[in-house]
Structure 1
């Protein structure tokens, strides 16, 4: 066999071997990936409590400037800065000497005038029978009677002077007009206080209850007016945790107790206020808070958890289960949204099972293995756990 013929034979055998292996390779079909485990929530149109959320700032229900009501040298301070004080608790003492002396002088003047009045009354009693028997002129009796009336008026003035002196002396003990948390002192011992505009010594704030002011837009205010089921709407005040999970606290509950009488022209908002109990002093004045107002639980809406809604260039959408157990994209129209739910205006009719987990891996047509978590993670379940369903706190 020539060398050329040998090479030709090897080439033919190689081609034949490749053809025989070809069917075996094409016979191996690709494996279908297993269904993706996902949580699903069955959505329904139902009476969902509508809570509208705002940002707000807290303000103490009472804020008092403690001022010196009399002048003098500040002699003592009787509180620790930043502590809670009781109504009537002594806070400062102003020098008393001049006010004690003024009270003594007023009492002495009263005693002197009382003695003079007593003498004048005796003169009247002595002259009255003499005048009756024409033994003394009537004009003299009338002069003594006028003197008695004058001295009685002087006595009244003396008593008023004494009351003023007693008040001024009492004002040297500066006491807390309300119970609350006291600020730092504004004046040190040794300073002269109380001249001119009476000196501010410190401030006290009463933080239980606490006010939270917030500003709904005109449109939001009209929604409240249309749907509210009670004059004083329920309110919840929450301190943001900044996403760190360190400041998660139970919301403080109360009522909306104030609505301003006009819309601000510049901002298009109206000022409202929620009053909440703050027994533990959790809220301080000036704290940034979330204010949630419960408008109604008597209107039917279709709500979904906000986390199930996604967005792209085509708009907002959710994934639902179709009849084959696959993921199906459904475009929706968003409505009102809060941290707890999102109103679906169009796109869902109710009864759909919306996919609530694994959304980053879901594609239209993907096979999924659903687990219904409506009772744990549905909108009503979430609101119930948060204490936002009336009668189920």
Structure 2
């Protein structure tokens, strides 16, 4: 009995000791695990911090490089346009007055704006006296023709009697002279009649050429003569023109045959014309000359009106850039282009015509370069940039 009890008591003491060692082992494992976790976390944090520091430096360097807008302009056709203003007029204005002796105007047959043919009667003058004179001369022609016929008949009969000895040679000569005088009087009478008829024809006021009547300065019942001045004004063929005033430098660039667009003042309608004459002289007081632009007839083109014009003197291929891309300093005009490393390169240029599309570059660019369009004023040669290509609309 006693021996069994001792064995039971011994077994009860061994069990708690085993459990203690188990818990101690578990605790050491947990402590080691926690320590390892913190050590690895610290290493990862240092690596992350180093990586973050490196990326931040790169980001800071990147933020210091400016971004610029660039374009590859290419080449395009550029028209040279010269602007001017002037007054509208008939290309060939014809003043019409009294050609003959004049008289009392009986009828006026046209109004301003009427198209007439060459020789058409514009107004008639009373010719009652002149008609009677013409009739009298026509009768004189008939009388002289009858006398000439009688003289010829007398000469023919006398020639038939010469062979019989009834008429002498002297009689033949006298009859021949009488016949010749009668024929001459016929010619004189006819000439006088023709002169009178021509004078009567000139009493009518007629159009010298086909065209458009612009003004009328005569009314029925008015007495007119050679000193009455201009009674009608006409535009030959109805052709109009703009007499554009141009500066001396622009006049030198304007050539006969250049096309032009004309816009009358107060109208949006545009008319196409052609420069047909360039003034050979310059007004010494205004330093301007006149370019005459021929226009086809249109009711909207009224002589005396004011109009503006754009004359196209030629076209050529050139590089076109906006004004913002061109810089200027003491050395002249220049632009910034980018090299293969996206570094700014100062490129001198010579500017040409200024158009609605921009400024043409006469020299300095081929059109294939990458040109800085904006922020050029803040760049320096060799400076690194971030290019941003402008998309064409």
RMSD of equivalent CA atoms: 4.7
Query: Which residue of structure 2 aligns with residue 239 of structure 1?
Result: 263
Q: Would you say 1:164 and 2:181 are equivalent positions?
A: no
Instruction: State the alpha-carbon separation in 2 of the partners of residues 98 and 280 from structure 1.
Output: 44
Q: Would you say 1:294 and 2:325 are equivalent positions?
A: no
After superposition, what is the alpha-carbon deviation per residue over 1:181-208, rounded to whole angstroms, capped at 9, x for unaligned? 323322332221124x464211111364
Distance change in 2, residues 1:354/1:127 (3 Å)? farther
Distance change in 2, residues 1:200/1:309 (3 Å)? farther
Distance change in 2, residues 1:308/1:102 (3 Å)? farther
Instruction: State the alpha-carbon separation in 2 of the partners of residues 300 and 131 from structure 1.
Output: 99
Instruction: State the alpha-carbon separation in 2 of the partners of residues 214 and 112 from structure 1.
Output: 65
CA contact (8 A) 1:60 1:210 kept: yes
Instruction: State the alpha-carbon separation in 2 of the partners of residues 362 and 249 from structure 1.
Output: 41
Q: Secondary structure at the match of 2:105?
A: strand
Q: Secondary structure at the match of 1:112?
A: helix
Query: Which residue of structure 2 aligns with residue 285 of structure 1?
Result: 303
Equivalent residues, number: 320
Distance change in 2, residues 1:131/1:100 (3 Å)? same
Q: Would you say 1:66 and 2:85 are equivalent positions?
A: no
Structure 1 residue 107: Cα displacement: 0.7
Q: Secondary structure at the match of 1:80?
A: coil
Instruction: State the alpha-carbon separation in 2 of the partners of residues 285 and 315 from structure 1.
Output: 51
Q: Secondary structure at the match of 1:160?
A: helix
CA contact (8 A) 2:93 2:234 kept: yes
Instruction: State the alpha-carbon separation in 2 of the partners of residues 343 and 85 from structure 1.
Output: 50
Q: Secondary structure at the match of 1:372?
A: coil
Q: Secondary structure at the match of 2:194?
A: helix
CA contact (8 A) 1:43 1:303 kept: yes
Instruction: State the alpha-carbon separation in 2 of the partners of residues 189 and 124 from structure 1.
Output: 56
Instruction: State the alpha-carbon separation in 2 of the partners of residues 235 and 126 from structure 1.
Output: 80
CA contact (8 A) 1:233 1:293 kept: no
* Pick aligned residue for 1:193 from 224, 232, 236: 224
Instruction: State the alpha-carbon separation in 2 of the partners of residues 141 and 331 from structure 1.
Output: 108
Distance change in 2, residues 1:142/1:165 (3 Å)? same
Instruction: State the alpha-carbon separation in 2 of the partners of residues 353 and 92 from structure 1.
Output: 74
* Pick aligned residue for 1:203 from 214, 226, 233: 233
After superposition, what is the alpha-carbon deviation per residue over 1:64-95, rounded to whole angstroms, capped at 9, x for unaligned? 11112231101111222344444444321110
CA contact (8 A) 1:309 1:317 kept: no
Distance change in 2, residues 1:215/1:330 (3 Å)? farther
Structure 1 residue 165: Cα displacement: 2.4
Query: Which residue of structure 2 aligns with residue 335 of structure 1?
Result: 352
CA contact (8 A) 1:43 1:351 kept: yes
Instruction: State the alpha-carbon separation in 2 of the partners of residues 128 and 138 from structure 1.
Output: 9
Instruction: State the alpha-carbon separation in 2 of the partners of residues 201 and 119 from structure 1.
Output: 51
Q: Which runs of 5+ in 1 are unaligned?
A: 1-31, 33-37, 226-231, 374-393
Q: Which moved more, 1:117-126 or 1:54-63?
A: 54-63
Q: Would you say 1:76 and 2:107 are equivalent positions?
A: yes
Distance change in 2, residues 1:372/1:61 (3 Å)? same
Query: Which residue of structure 1 aligns with residue 168 of structure 2?
Result: 137
CA contact (8 A) 2:73 2:367 kept: yes
Q: Which moved more, 1:167-176 or 1:108-117?
A: 167-176
* Pick aligned residue for 1:48 from 70, 73, 78: 78
1:17-166 equivalence runs, <5 A: 43-70=73-100, 71-166=102-197
Query: Which residue of structure 1 aligns with residue 49 of structure 2?
Result: none
Q: Which has the higher helix share?
A: 2
Query: Which residue of structure 2 aligns with residue 388 of structure 1?
Result: none
Query: Which residue of structure 2 aligns with residue 252 of structure 1?
Result: 272
Instruction: State the alpha-carbon separation in 1 of the partners of residues 161 and 228 from structure 2.
Output: 59
CA contact (8 A) 1:57 1:214 kept: yes
CA contact (8 A) 2:332 2:348 kept: yes
Distance change in 2, residues 1:371/1:273 (3 Å)? same
